[in-house]
Amino acid sequence: MINYFRMTTLVRFVAVLVFLATPFLSTPLLSQGRNYGRSQVITQQGIAATSQTLASQAAVQILAHGGSAVDAAIAANAVLAVVEPMKNGLGGDLFALYWDAKSGKLQGLNASGPAPRGLSPELLAKQGIQSMPQQGIHSFTVPGAVDGWWKIHQRYGKLPWKDLFQSAIAYAENGFPVSEAIQESWADPVNHPRIKSNPESMRVFLPGGKAPIEGDLFRNPGMARALHLVAEKGPDAMYKGEIGAAILKTSHSLGGTMTAEDLASFSAEWVQPISIDYRGWRVYEMPPNGQGMAALEMLNLMETVPPTPLGAFSAVEMHKRIESMKLAYADVHRYDADPHTYDVPVSQLLSKEYARTRAALINPKKAKCDVPAGQPIGSDTTYLTVVDKDGNIVSWIQSIYSEFGSGVTVEGMGFLLQNRGAGFTLEPKHPNVLVGGKRPFHTIIPAFMERGDVHIGFGIMGGANQPLAHAQFVSNLVDYGMNLQAALEAPRFTKRTSTGCDVSIEVRVPAATLQQLSERGHQIAIRREYTQEMGRGQAILHNSKTGTNYAASDPRADGAAMPEPIR
């Protein structure tokens, strides 16, 4: 049986041997107690769920002082910029969904920035660059996060702006002990060439020439300075002031094309979320230029077949999910782009009729390795979610894209510039082709779902992993009756492309399922029990009838769901 699987390490090989030696239980799992590790957090106060406990703590402190869900999210995001600097920060973009408990309305905020106006395929070609750079100064786009923080705070914030950054500033100035999962990202040798390509990045993030390890105290005075400026002067510090000047100086020194006009003209955009019905639940995602429509199309495809009584981790269910993912991803890679420059056929791609047509391509007995896009008619990231005592929910995701982004750190400011420009293509006729002033295809997507009195903000980060992780989470809840924590902890698969039969699966999936998937033609790479490769998620549920809040935090990260303390 082991020959069916491509093992990546001896440890994983041993783990499978142990798993195969364990007899299967004939009685239901529920009779044996729960099969997930943590309890949900349940309270009638607010809750913050983030990927790092220091950020969760900062958020609930804001809630306890009368702050809104948005206030708490900004405070948490600022702390995450300090304690997870390779994943998010001032140099990245932001997307958020906000559910207003009083009106019952959901709004989206797209704070993703465009390419510099002076950047073009022709300019890159003159420099001998034939494909879109994945790192370096030409992969950098206008960072939208700070303006996004400001705009959503102006509409939904309660506390003074400057009060939201105090915890983050303190951790940057005084230091914080590096946590377990973040140490893995920092120490990964794959990231070191990216950091070492830029002297400022190496100085800031490899102190003494090496990555800090778990428990090491890491200080970032440059980021403290930048956060002080944002706290005191708002977004003008970023787009027109001292931070912006440092960004431009860094860009120009490396041959970049960013201008003062590029920064000063940026404005985050309020947008209408897109949604589908999935077996009686309304599931919402952000519209393009994000990839949220891939999650919704995948759910539409899965809905064409009833849930199997064999369970969420059966070969029947997992095969359906994997094959649905390939079809949805083929479409998102073909059609997704900035809607200001291309009329993305969202409604056609998300129609139930189109889903039935595409689902007919799924062979229940065989994996399909070459999946073309259909013809419709007509990372690395941080995710957090907060509910306040009034029931308002924010679903929030922020990123500098790849681990350590572009690899370029702004001189004297201690934060990395994103590499979102890597999301463009240089194919001349593709809707996502690079154009100066245009936003690239984006991977980060916050999500929301509701039915009746139940409202859930959720997200699972990790680049191309996100739509398929969202769909697995929704199916676990809706089709198989799991609670938030069980659905989030459940073993997942991931796949980064629509082509090929390769798929990575956590070893907690039953061995019989792995064998049957292999027999269907899936080329399986078995991963450890809880791996960041599957994404790091958070989820919050508000029951508007009872006023009770529930939350879950993914054990694949260093975080926690924390309740607001009663003062």
Q: Is residue 280 part of a domain?
A: no
- Please check the confidence at residue 257 and state whether its pLDDT lies above 70: yes
In the chain, the percentage of residues whose pLDDT exceeds 90 is: 87
More confident residue, 76 or 499: 76
Domain extent, residue 252, equals 66-92+103-270+404-423
Instruction: Say which of 50, 381, 382, 425 is annotated catalytic.
Output: 381
The pLDDT tens digits for 87-129 are: 999 999 999 999 999 999 999 999 999 999 999 999 999 999 9
Q: Is residue 41 part of a domain?
A: no
CA-to-CA distance for 395 and 544, rounded, in angstroms? 17
Average pLDDT score over residue span 328-350: 93
| CA end-to-end distance (rounded Å), the chain | 58
Q: Is residue 231 part of a domain?
A: yes
Average pLDDT score over residue span 392-402: 96
375 pLDDT band, cuts 50/70/90, is low
User: What is the count of structural domains for the chain?
Assistant: 1
- Within 8 A by CB and 6+ apart from 182, the residues are 52, 83, 84, 86, 558
Q: What three-state secondary structure class fits 15?
A: helix
Which pLDDT score is estimated for 339?
93
Residue among 408, 464, 403 nearest 85 (CA): 403
Q: Is residue 295 part of a domain?
A: no
Which pLDDT score is estimated for 432?
95
Which pLDDT score is estimated for 352?
97
Check the CA dihedral 173-538-467-149 and report its sign: negative
Q: Is residue 233 part of a domain?
A: yes
- What are phi and psi for residue 336, nearest 5 degrees? -80, 135
Which pLDDT score is estimated for 377?
52
Average pLDDT score over residue span 459-477: 94
More confident residue, 447 or 9: 447
191 pLDDT band, cuts 50/70/90, is confident
Q: Is residue 418 part of a domain?
A: yes
Which residue is it, tokens 């059966």? 314
- Residue 530 and residue 556 in contact, taking contact as beta carbons nearer than 8 Å: yes
The pLDDT tens digits for 32-78 are: 467 888 899 999 999 999 999 999 999 999 999 999 999 999 999 99
Q: Is residue 73 part of a domain?
A: yes
Average pLDDT score over residue span 205-213: 94
Average pLDDT score over residue span 124-151: 97
Buried b (16+ CB within 10 A) or exposed e, 306-344: ebbeebbbbbbbbbbbbbbbbbbbbbbbbbbbbbebbeb
- Residue 432 and residue 457 in contact, taking contact as beta carbons nearer than 8 Å: no
- Please check the confidence at residue 24 and state whether its pLDDT lies above 80: no
Based on DSSP, count helices (H) and strands (E) in the chain, helices before strands. Answer: 20, 20
CA-to-CA distance for 457 and 47, rounded, in angstroms? 12
Task: Determine if residue 319 is left, alpha or beta; phi over 0 gives left, psi from -120 to 50 gives alpha, anything else beta.
Answer: alpha
The enclosing H or E element of 246 equals helix 242-253
- Chain-centroid distance of CA 553 in Å reads 14
The pLDDT tens digits for 219-253 are: 999 999 999 999 999 999 999 999 999 999 999 99
- Model-wide pTM > 0.85: yes
- Please check the confidence at residue 185 and state whether its pLDDT lies above 50: yes
Mean pLDDT, the chain, whole residue set: 92
Q: What three-state secondary structure class fits 330?
A: helix
The answer to whether residue 381 is catalytic is yes
- Please check the confidence at residue 31 and state whether its pLDDT lies above 50: no
Q: Is residue 147 part of a domain?
A: yes
Residue type, 544: S
- Please check the confidence at residue 334 and state whether its pLDDT lies above 70: yes
Q: Which of 10-19, 526-535, 538-547 has the highest mean pLDDT?
A: 538-547
CA-to-CA distance for 539 and 484, rounded, in angstroms? 7
200 pLDDT band, cuts 50/70/90, is very high
CA-to-CA distance for 505 and 516, rounded, in angstroms? 13
